[in-house]
Chains A and B, each alone.
Chain A
């Protein structure tokens, strides 16, 4: 289960979680965290091709309907700062870092 982690968290893998009910595709995050994010054709953030999270594997998301259904974007250790910037600067507060 992914629980929210603070920006100072340094244990374990983290991922960037998008609250799609808040995101309006302003695109700031894709500039601040361009290592992993780009904009889809509608402007919403999406993991860059080549590191697509876990698409195409329904088993990875099927299961507990109480689990988040979203495809979180993996964040590598050296990308933590950039990802944290994206979280902090999102004008709609639609992003957060979660444990993977």
Chain B
């Protein structure tokens, strides 16, 4: 369809789109992006043409998610749908949602308005941790001074501060539970949130970056959106690059979809990304996939990463240098992820600590003298990790255990030589020893 732009702003050029405004205020926002156009169900087709996919981790197309909620809502008559912006950002290696809320909160709130209009929602909620609530409160206060008849928001937007900010609090069913007044833990579902969320209403949960992208597409159109990026990742995306051993080093970039991994590392200017010393990259998140340095030519999009068995996930690139023992790092991640379980599902509660123990044995060199934790011979440790990973994979209410299984399996593949050395009681790193 043809979009009319009742405004005089120039669409952002280059790859600075979400972060194009000079500041976070409503004036900065409107000077940069102009007002929203007249909204309606048409936006679903436009978002589909633009190829906006979910930026929280799963990469599911936004247009299909919106269409699913509208179809369910019409058929079932369960009450007006609810739309929830997910800014839990429980992923320890991601900082992009925080940066987006600090730099462009109004673009996110506009995105909520767009999604609400697309599915006929009567209420919109932004859910986030206490840490990130400040900029949202300020932006909501700026918007509250205008009524719906004077360019104000057509749906009420409220802020929900999550009761706890843990790794799994951003999982869609956990977030929907928190918004409905529940405990904010992952829930079992045989019925989609799109059909009936915890509140009884069809519920759309979407990551804040996804919604902000939608707010750009409805203003400037799908053709503009596809003006940068690759076929499988049109437009821009926010990427968090960090030293995998220190999430506090995180740098957030807005880049064209499909940029080569190596280019993203360079653009971060982090010392750990020195190409001469880059050993591997954990892609997607802590529950993502380890890729070797040989993969740095791959494009950061679904197509380029699929060849390496990975996916963009939450836009995370966590870098490992060649002076750090990869088995020790993997053990630390596995331990942290085991501790981050919501504790609801048996296979996760039992299996994740078991995986962490066995990888820890491998890392510490106890492999060479047999292992107390595993009760098995040293040579079986790698096999034991794979066996338990298969036991937790897909056996939980949420995808947390699946991510742990994916991460440790990829570590065994990518760091095969290190694993063999550790099985023999050695570490390939000169001084690292069995750290």
Cβ of A69: which chain B residues have Cβ within 8 Å of it?
Answer: 394, 396-399, 402
A65 in contact with B190 (CB, 8 Å): no
A62 in contact with B58 (CB, 8 Å): yes
Q: Shortest distance in angstroms between A26's beta carbon and chain B's nearest beta carbon?
A: 11
Q: State which residues 391-414 of B face A: CB under 8 Å.
A: 391, 393-399, 402, 406
Q: List 11 A-B contacts (CB under 8 A).
A: A20-B347, A21-B188, A21-B345, A23-B346, A55-B393, A63-B60, A64-B65, A65-B172, A66-B193, A68-B188, A71-B393
B188 in contact with A42 (CB, 8 Å): no
CA–CA, A63 and B60, complex, Å: 5
Q: How many residues of B contact A (CB 8 A)?
A: 42
A68 in contact with B60 (CB, 8 Å): no
Query: Given A64-B60, A66-B65, A20 and B395 touching (CB < 8 A)?
Result: yes
CA–CA, A54 and B396, complex, Å: 14
A70 in contact with B396 (CB, 8 Å): yes
Instruction: Spell out A's residues near B (CB within 8 Å).
Output: 1-4, 17-25, 40-44, 46, 53-56, 58, 61-71, 96, 98
CA–CA, A69 and B186, complex, Å: 11
B190 in contact with A96 (CB, 8 Å): yes
Cβ of B205: which chain A residues have Cβ within 8 Å of it?
Answer: 65-66
Q: Which residue of B lies closest to A69 (CB)?
A: B399
Instruction: Spell out B's residues near A (CB within 8 Å).
Output: 54, 56-60, 64-65, 68, 171-172, 185-195, 205, 311, 344-348, 350-351, 390-391, 393-399, 402, 406
Q: Shortest distance in angstroms between A97's beta carbon and chain B's nearest beta carbon?
A: 10
Cβ of B396: which chain A residues have Cβ within 8 Å of it?
Answer: 20, 69-70
CA–CA, A3 and B398, complex, Å: 18
Q: Which residue of B lies closest to A22 (CB)?
A: B188
A65 in contact with B56 (CB, 8 Å): yes
Q: Shortest distance in angstroms between B161's beta carbon and chain A's nearest beta carbon?
A: 22
A44 in contact with B397 (CB, 8 Å): no
Q: Which residue of A lies closest to B306 (CB)?
A: A59
A66 in contact with B190 (CB, 8 Å): no
Which of B188, B193, B195, B391 contacts A20, CB < 8 Å?
B188
Q: Which 4 A-B pairs have the closest CB atoms?
A: A71-B394, A20-B345, A19-B188, A66-B193
CA–CA, A44 and B195, complex, Å: 29
The listed residue with most B CB atoms (<10 A of its CB), out of A21, A23, A68, A98, is A21
Cβ of B397: which chain A residues have Cβ within 8 Å of it?
Answer: 19-21, 69-70
Q: Shortest distance in angstroms between B71's beta carbon and chain A's nearest beta carbon?
A: 11
Cβ of B194: which chain A residues have Cβ within 8 Å of it?
Answer: 64, 66
Cβ of A3: which chain B residues have Cβ within 8 Å of it?
Answer: 190-191
Cβ of B56: which chain A residues have Cβ within 8 Å of it?
Answer: 65
The listed residue with most B CB atoms (<10 A of its CB), out of A1, A20, A63, A96, is A20
CA–CA, A71 and B348, complex, Å: 13
CA–CA, A41 and B374, complex, Å: 13
CA–CA, A68 and B394, complex, Å: 10
B58 in contact with A63 (CB, 8 Å): yes
- Besides A23-B345, A65-B205, A70-B394, 7 more A-B contacts (Cβ < 8 Å) are A20-B346, A44-B395, A53-B394, A55-B390, A61-B394, A68-B189, A69-B402
Which of B68, B190, B311 contacts A98, CB < 8 Å?
B190
A64 in contact with B190 (CB, 8 Å): no
B347 in contact with A55 (CB, 8 Å): no
Cβ of A67: which chain B residues have Cβ within 8 Å of it?
Answer: 192
Q: Shortest distance in angstroms between A5's beta carbon and chain B's nearest beta carbon?
A: 10
Q: Which residue of B lies closest to A59 (CB)?
A: B306
Q: Shortest distance in angstroms between A63's beta carbon and chain B's nearest beta carbon?
A: 6
Q: Which residue of A lies closest to B193 (CB)?
A: A66
CA–CA, A44 and B60, complex, Å: 31
A68 in contact with B190 (CB, 8 Å): yes
B187 in contact with A21 (CB, 8 Å): yes
Query: Given A20-B345, A21-B188, A69-B396, A40 and B58 touching (CB < 8 A)?
Result: no
A42 in contact with B350 (CB, 8 Å): yes
Which of A2, A22, A42, A68 contacts B347, CB < 8 Å?
A42
Cβ of B172: which chain A residues have Cβ within 8 Å of it?
Answer: 65-66
A4 in contact with B190 (CB, 8 Å): yes
A55 in contact with B190 (CB, 8 Å): no
Q: Which residue of B lies closest to A67 (CB)?
A: B192
CA–CA, A21 and B177, complex, Å: 14
A64 in contact with B187 (CB, 8 Å): no
Cβ of A43: which chain B residues have Cβ within 8 Å of it?
Answer: 346
CA–CA, A96 and B189, complex, Å: 11
Q: Shortest distance in angstroms between A79's beta carbon and chain B's nearest beta carbon?
A: 19
The listed residue with most B CB atoms (<10 A of its CB), out of A4, A17, A42, A43, is A42
Q: Shortest distance in angstroms between A46's beta carbon and chain B's nearest beta carbon?
A: 7
A46 in contact with B391 (CB, 8 Å): yes
